């Protein structure tokens, strides 16, 4: 699977955190627009490169 610059930025942040983080935290850490993060997270989840957790 090809990862573009947005995908890599998201994956890099998630790897650096080493624990689950919220969408808001991911948006802040990447500096990307919320809508951009959501689109790329959906792609990464569909490829099973990222797992989505449930909110408590």
Classify residue 51: in a domain, yes or no: no
Phi-psi region of 2 (alpha: psi -120 to 50; beta: other; left: phi over 0): beta
What CATH number corresponds to the domain at position 39? 1.10.10
Residue 56 pLDDT exceeds 70: no
Q: For residue range 7-17, list pLDDT tens digits in order.
A: 999 999 999 99
Number of folded domains that form the chain: 1
Identify whether 33 is part of a domain: yes
How many Å is the Cα radius of gyration of the chain?
A: 10
Residue 9 placed within a domain: yes
**Interatomic CA distance for residues 49 and 56, integer angstroms:** 22
Per-residue pLDDT tens over the stretch 1-55 = 899 999 999 999 999 999 999 999 999 999 999 999 999 999 999 999 998 887 6
Report yes or no on 54 lying in a domain. no
pLDDT value, residue 52: 87
Gap between the Cα atoms of 12 and 39, Å rounded: 16
Tell me if the pTM is above 0.85: yes
Domain assignment present for residue 36? The answer is: yes
Residue 13 forms part of a structural domain: yes
* Residue 35 lies in domain: 5-46
């Amino acid at each position: 699977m090809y990862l573009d610059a947005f995908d890599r930025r998201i994956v890099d942040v998630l790897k650096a955190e080493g624990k689950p983080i919220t969408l808001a935290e991911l948006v802040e850490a990447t500096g990307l627009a919320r809508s951009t993060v959501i689109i790329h997270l959906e792609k990464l989840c569909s490829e099973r490169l990222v797992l989505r957790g449930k909110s408590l």
